[in-house]
Amino acid sequence: MSPPARAIDWRVPAIWAVLLTVSVFAHAHVEIANETARGVRMSYGAALAIQISSHLVVAALLPAIYWLHRRWPIAGHPRNLLIHVAAVVPFSIVHTVGMAALRFVWFGGVLGETHSFPLTFDRMLYEFAKDLIAYGMLSAGAVALRHVLARPVPPVIAEAVAKTEPPPSEPLPERFAVRRKGREVMVEVADIDWIEASGNYAVLHVGDETFEIRSSLTKLEGELDPKRFVRVHKSHLVNIARVVEVTPWVSGDWRIRLQSGAEVNLSRRYRQRFEALAPVRA
């Protein structure tokens, strides 16, 4: 099984969404002003559609820019700067062709209007000059956001967070005292193969022996070392060190075989917990 995916920092797409939205409206106003200066009347809706088509393609290309900066960071080596300069060419081609296609679909296919956007060499060269600046601004934004969002927490805030953290938990038990035939028997936690729920009791399976203690399975799960014991079923806890084999079973469940020869179900509901400690590789 592949390692768990890294959590997404949703602040990044949220910030870019705000920036691109502001840019759409700002560029729409500029578009109208430019057309008015040329003596051409343009509606605000048309200006918005033109800018939205451009910014949608830019938004789709942002992950590629982030990947390029992770793979070839500008500060990593002088040649990386040349790689980013060269990347402007495919960036500009995809951006220009993409926004032309979106405008064709919107104006021609949806509105039934004529919109001229010829992909001539002069037009591509004009868009490349703009995209050279756009790529630089997007790259600067990506680097700046990474720097700002990765800044360490100020000491005052860190101290406040530390004060709100719960106190250290009690030491985990190393053995249980269970009653058997009128006497107390000590059972080492490390020797337990698996634990089974049985009404108001829990049954400790230790090799060929079983011991009952008055406790719920949920309570025991909270008392035992989570790196050693894992819930694999609503009625079962297993000692991960005692697992010798995991095989597919029925309805998406799996079957766990322990060193003692006992077998218990690994329910789909709890498989993620199990694989966090013992990844099952195909």
What CATH number is given to the structural domain containing 229?
2.40.50.1020
Residues 21 and 138 in one domain: yes
What band does 7 get if pLDDT is binned at 50, 70 and 90? low
What band does 4 get if pLDDT is binned at 50, 70 and 90? very low
Residues 143 and 185 in one domain: no
Write the DSSP assignment of 227-260 as a string of letters. Answer: TTEEEEETTEEEEGGGEEEEEE-STT-EEEEETT
In tens, the pLDDT along 179-234 reads: 777 788 888 999 999 999 988 888 999 988 888 888 888 888 888 988 899 999 99
Percent of the chain at pLDDT > 90 equals 34
Name 201's Cβ contacts closer than 8 Å, sequence gap at least 6.
Answer: 212, 213, 214, 215
What band does 154 get if pLDDT is binned at 50, 70 and 90? low
pLDDT of residue 159: 60
Region 46-55 average pLDDT: 91
- How does the average pLDDT of the chain come out, rounded? 84
pLDDT of residue 165: 60
Residues 117 and 216 in one domain: no
For residue 101, the tally of other CB atoms under 10 A from its CB is 14
Residue 165 lies in a domain: no
Asked if 193 and 207 count as a contact pair (C-beta separation under 8 A), the reply is yes
Residue 164 lies in a domain: no
Is a pLDDT exceeding 50 seen at residue 5? no
Region 22-36 average pLDDT: 90
Residue 67 lies in a domain: yes
pLDDT of residue 3: 41
Show which of 115, 134, 149 is a domain's final residue.
149
Residues 128 and 246 in one domain: no
Residues 179 and 271 in one domain: yes
Residues 16 and 126 in one domain: yes
d(CA 161, CA 164): 5
Residue 193 lies in a domain: yes
Is a pLDDT exceeding 90 seen at residue 52? yes
Residue 19 lies in a domain: yes
Number of domains in the chain: 2
Boundaries of domain holding 220: 175-277
Is a pLDDT exceeding 60 seen at residue 166? no
More confident residue, 166 or 192: 192
Residues 127 and 213 in one domain: no
Show which of 149, 184, 201 is a domain's final residue.
149
Residues 15 and 142 in one domain: yes
pLDDT of residue 231: 92
Alpha-helical regions (H) of 72-205 = 78-103, 121-149, 155-164
Residue 260 lies in a domain: yes
Residue 237 lies in a domain: yes
pLDDT of residue 169: 60
User: Cα–chain-centroid distance for residue 52?
Assistant: 27
Residues 104 and 34 in one domain: yes
Residues 131 and 208 in one domain: no
Show which of 131, 149, 167 is a domain's final residue.
149
pTM for the whole structure: 0.52
Lowest mean pLDDT among 129-138, 170-179, 261-270: 170-179
pLDDT of residue 79: 86
pLDDT of residue 70: 83
Residues 15 and 141 in one domain: yes
Name 16's Cβ contacts closer than 8 Å, sequence gap at least 6.
Answer: 59, 62, 141
Residue 126 lies in a domain: yes
In tens, the pLDDT along 132-144 reads: 999 999 999 988 8
Residues 206 and 115 in one domain: no
Region 158-181 average pLDDT: 68
Is a pLDDT exceeding 90 seen at residue 71? no
